Amino acid sequence: MDFYSDKQNKRLITLEDVTLRLGGKMLLPGTSWEIRAGENWAILGPNGSGKSALARAIKGEVPHVRGKLTRHEPEARGEKIGYVSFELQEQILLREDRLEEARFFSGGKGHSLTAGDLLRENDGNQAAFDRLVDTLKLRTLLGHGIRTLSNGETRKLFIARALLPSPKILILDDPFAGLDVESRKSLASSITEMMEKGTQMILVTHRIEEVIPGVSHLLVIQDGRVVHAGTRSAVITPARMKTLAGLPQILQERPLPAPDERTATPPAAGPLVEMKNIHVAYGDLVVIEGLNWTVRRGEHWAVVGPNGSGKTTLLGLITGDNLQVYANEVFLFGKKRGEGESIWEIRRRIGLVSPELQFRYRRQAPVREVVLSGFFDSIGLYRQTNPEQEALADRWLECLGLQDMAYKTFSHLSYGEKRLALIVRAMVKSPELLLLDEPCQGLDRANREMVLALLQNIGRRTATGLIYVTHHEEEMIPCIDHCLKLGKAGARVINAPFRTASAEEGCRQQEGG
């Protein structure tokens, strides 16, 4: 390992021959690393490599069982370090869910946590508060409950929350995930500005393209060990770029598991989805207005638009997770929602992958059980499975190369590994409609390439219809042949059926015309 040390700057944190422990598993044995004043670091590595565990060890949340971790300055103490991660976000949202349940059973006393309430939980002066909410475009959301925000809006909110106390060291674990293009640019600019003003950053990512110019040093993890740590120019050499980016896996030619006709649901008549003059609002916040949309069999749709434009809300109307579906004209598989069919009758025809599902799926269960629960659309496995279902689940796990993960505990997986398991869960029942809300969020390049190839394979070779939400143009798969573009205000909708190589490009052409 090309370990870097600069004697000119004072040491802040030193790790000497450290081994971490997380969930009973030993990680990153023999790690040595030094962070000095003025250095901004990025931690790079694939899914499950230990990136987040190392960042949490710096924060003081993951113990080391061997070696020595020294904090040389007061600002390097764990409680002084700012931290943003999906895990922290999930903890706070879970807390709010429990409080909301308590309010319900106590007759509705109290009020739901708003975006403004969450920001003000952290110390910070009013000038910093105003600057952050304006930079991240959060001001119009301050009065809204955090459970009504989109995935991207929630992400920006938690980043602002961590920045308010003006920490000297700030850890950002996958900060750009779930953000639209403009929000990513805005956040990158804000991070650069903070680095220029003296805040030291530790950026955790699996996308080398997200290592912004102000990052001066990189630490690279491969095969469970730190293999490079040093200046940016020393680590990012042409010879290493292919390794750092991750090697794509080609899946197009691998056969998909065939559905078991004995367990498959017969296809229903009518369009997969039909919506008429849809209106969704939360108080005075109108999310969707006047939407007319039909998804027919054989079509694959992209749903695009900035954070807060209603993409996740739209999927919630289809799954029934958004109760405003019953105040609208929504038809699924030829039947109007709210006219006799149960939510389970609808869900057995739908596969779902989303950040919200991943948040709700908090179970100490083996990955194989998580996959098998897809047959019953349950959070957890509560019914007996048959040999045919178990064999099909095993074939799908093998299809994504997850067979060695089958008996690992789901809650102990990394964020990206959980996403892969939930993709298998969604496909195991061969649904008529597959809803994909940022399916590649949290995945390293190799796993992104594998998942995109799988989705392309599904779109070309099966009868499953795709509705695909993404903020990354490079993740648009060729089988997408229709596009629905939602505007920022929720009222401007571009419904553009067409057939081109790129649905995102087609959306732009339609908007421009």
* φ, ψ dihedrals at 378, nearest 5°: -115, 155
354 shares a domain with 238: no
Half-sphere exposure for 503 (CA within 13 Å, toward CB) = 29
pLDDT band at 319 (very low <50, low <70, confident <90, very high): very high
Please spell the DSSP secondary structure of 359-379, one letter per residue: HH-----BHHHHHHGGGTT-S
* The pLDDT of residue 112: 78
Nearest to 55 by CA among 162, 161, 209, 127: 162
153 shares a domain with 60: yes
> How confident is the model over 39-68, as a mean pLDDT?
94
Distance CA 51, CA 226 (A): 10
504 shares a domain with 357: yes
Residue 473 belongs to what domain range? 296-312+348-512
- Laid out side by side, the sheet with 300-304 consists of 350-353, 433-437, 465-469, 300-304, 482-486, 493-497
**End residue of a domain, out of 245, 263, 281:** 245
306 shares a domain with 218: no
Instruction: Judge whether 156 and 163 are in contact, CB under 8 Å.
Output: no
Phi-psi region of 145 (alpha: psi -120 to 50; beta: other; left: phi over 0): beta
Q: Is the pLDDT of residue 28 over 80?
A: yes
Q: Residue 331 is which amino acid?
A: F
pLDDT digits (tens, 9 = 90+) for 420-448: 999 999 999 999 999 999 999 888 888 88
303 shares a domain with 239: no
Nearest to 65 by CA among 31, 35, 34, 33: 31
This prediction's pTM: 0.80
221 shares a domain with 79: yes
**Residue 250 maps to a domain:** no
Token digits of residue 327: 């105040």
**Residue 301 maps to a domain:** yes
Q: Is the pLDDT of residue 364 over 50?
A: yes
CATH number of the CATH domain containing 37: 3.40.50.300
Q: Residue 406 is which amino acid?
A: A
Nearest to 479 by CA among 512, 496, 501: 501
* The pLDDT of residue 497: 44
Q: Is the pLDDT of residue 372 over 60?
A: yes
pLDDT band at 2 (very low <50, low <70, confident <90, very high): very low
* The pLDDT of residue 273: 96
pLDDT digits (tens, 9 = 90+) for 451-492: 898 899 899 988 999 999 999 888 999 999 999 998 865 434
pLDDT digits (tens, 9 = 90+) for 85-119: 877 777 787 787 777 766 655 555 556 789 999 88
304 shares a domain with 215: no
**Residue 49 maps to a domain:** yes
Number of domains the chain contains: 2
* The pLDDT of residue 510: 43
Helix H or strand E encompassing 17: strand 11-22
End-to-end CA distance of the chain: 54
300 shares a domain with 199: no
* φ, ψ dihedrals at 478, nearest 5°: -60, -30
Least confident residue range of 228-232, 239-243, 304-308, 476-480:
239-243
Q: Residue 3 is which amino acid?
A: F
Mean pLDDT, the chain, integer: 85
Distance CA 372, CA 38 (A): 49
**Residue 172 maps to a domain:** yes
**Residue 84 maps to a domain:** yes
304 shares a domain with 201: no
**Residue 212 maps to a domain:** yes
Please spell the DSSP secondary structure of 25-59, one letter per residue: EEEEEEEEEEEETT--EEEE--TTSSHHHHHHHHH
Contacts of 423 (CB under 8 A, 6+ apart): 353, 400, 439, 451, 454
* The pLDDT of residue 488: 60
Nearest to 220 by CA among 408, 54, 344, 387: 54
Name the 3-class secondary structure at 292: strand
3-state helix, strand, coil in the chain (%, to 5): 40, 25, 35
**Residue 397 maps to a domain:** yes
97 shares a domain with 201: yes
* φ, ψ dihedrals at 308, nearest 5°: 85, 5
Query: In percent, how much of the chain has pLDDT > 70?
Result: 85
Nearest to 440 by CA among 430, 425, 453: 453
Torsional sign, CA 28, 31, 35, 41:
negative
Name which residue leads in pLDDT, 204 or 3. Answer: 204
**End residue of a domain, out of 245, 265, 286:** 245
358 shares a domain with 230: no
Name which residue leads in pLDDT, 473 or 512. Answer: 473
Instruction: Judge whether 307 and 152 are in contact, CB under 8 Å.
Output: yes
Token digits of residue 363: 């179970």
499 shares a domain with 360: yes
**Residue 99 maps to a domain:** yes
> How confident is the model over 26-45, as a mean pLDDT?
96
DSSP assignment, residue 487?
Answer: -
**End residue of a domain, out of 225, 245, 265:** 245
